A = this chain, B = another copy of it.
Amino acid sequence: MDIVESKQISEPIKSEAQISHLALDIGGSLIKLVYFSTNSDSSASSSSKDSVAVSSGNEGRPVLEGKLHFAKFETAKINDCIDFIRSKQLRLSGFQKHGAPAGEKCTIKATGGGAYKYADLFKEKLGICLDKEDEMDCLVAGSNFLLKAVHTEAFTYMDGQKEFVQIDHDDLYPYMLVNIGSGVSMIKVDGPGKFERVSGTNVGGGTFWGLGRLLTKCKSFDELLELSHRGNNRVIDMLVGDIYGGMDYTKIGLSSTTIASSFGKAISDNKELEDYKPEDISRSLLRMISNNIGQISYLNALRFGLKRIFFAGFFIRGHAYTMDTIAVAVHFWSKGEAKAMFLKHEGFLGALGSFMSYEKHGFLNLKVHQLVQQSPVDASRGGDKIHDPPNGELNENQSIDCSICLS
């Protein structure tokens, strides 16, 4: 996320928005936020205004109509995140622990390693306690929630074609969840709260961005990703044809254009780093890492007989080449047996799971409106546009219409 985007996100979504029930996922590279807003500045007990319907829910408890919103910040710029939360003038009522006197102790749900690392900072700067939730619990809760509640959440991507997949709620489990953040977690999900982290790899989004930054001097992850769009990996990768004099190695099914060795051409070219185009470096790196994740994910899915692999995490960013490489890797290694799928809210599984733990602990009930409103965002204002993928298509408005019932 570059500075311009960060500013956009820091703007209030609507000037009169009322924010409550914010939850965090503080990872190694990024902080992800999920929060609920109504379009009214009225409290839960006041009358409805604008499009916000406040009605009586079960047992007469107030129901708020509104949206779930998503935002992200670089972990290295955590103060921007703190300023954002402060600027939202959070209604604290929803965050107080049961039985605690008003204004005494404000807590917000948080997951990821940063919930531990930055607990003191949140206390000091905002007077907020971070109520820690387990990272894997949250990823799985977020994933299960999205796959069940949001109609157009999961999709396949092949040959540039995105296709939404309708999930049969009775046939969701088991599946493999691959969350690609700075590192990668691979989780076998067997049901609500039933899962096992079966594998992972330390070659993930942090590797792409860390190595990419050193090799190209790019200033942001998105800039590096954008560069890859125009690059040609064959400039640096050693292909089968480079070794075999342009021929295929047909006996074992490797065509001349198969990558034999990522970055392998750099060993014999009499070129320095500066002689390579950043575009080509970015492309090779993205392909190497995406393909590697696809391969290890498939091998783990195979162990447990899982045919469906959902890829999430902020490494992907709805980026066509990333998804295409992952999908092709899964297809190639599984000989078409397994299928890669992607999630529209890819980066927010942990934060959503963290948000949902309010529900788990009896603070609220969340009811998502089945059809996600794909309302156009006013581009001049930025709004809750989270990132700007090169293909411009995905994630333009990820907010989710829902109602919450305060308990």
Contacts and interface: CB of A to CB of B under 8 A. Distances in A.
Interface of A: 27-29, 74-76, 112-114, 116-119, 134-136, 181-183, 197, 199, 201-207, 209-211, 213-215, 217, 221, 236-238, 240, 242-247, 249, 251-252, 258-268, 272-273, 276, 281, 288, 291-292, 295-296, 299-300, 302-303, 333
Nearest to A261: B206
Contact of A203 (B206, B252, B292): B292
A240 B181 CA distance: 13
A281 B207 CA distance: 12
A403 to B, nearest CB: 33
Contact of A264 (B74, B182, B199, B244): B182
Given A201-B292, A202-B288, A203-B288, A266 B118 contact: no
A113 B29 contact: no
Task: Give the number of times this chain occurs in the complex, counting copies.
Answer: 2
A303 B119 CA distance: 43
Given A182-B261, A238-B182, A268 B207 contact: no
B288 A243 contact: no
A77 B265 CA distance: 14
A246 B214 CA distance: 25
Given A28-B261, A264-B182, A333-B199, A206 B238 contact: yes
A255 to B, nearest CB: 13
Contact of A135 (B74, B249, B266, B276): B249
Contact of A266 (B27, B183, B211, B251): B211
A272 B296 CA distance: 31
3 nearest A-B pairs in the assembled complex, by CB-CB distance: A206-B264, A117-B245, A206-B261
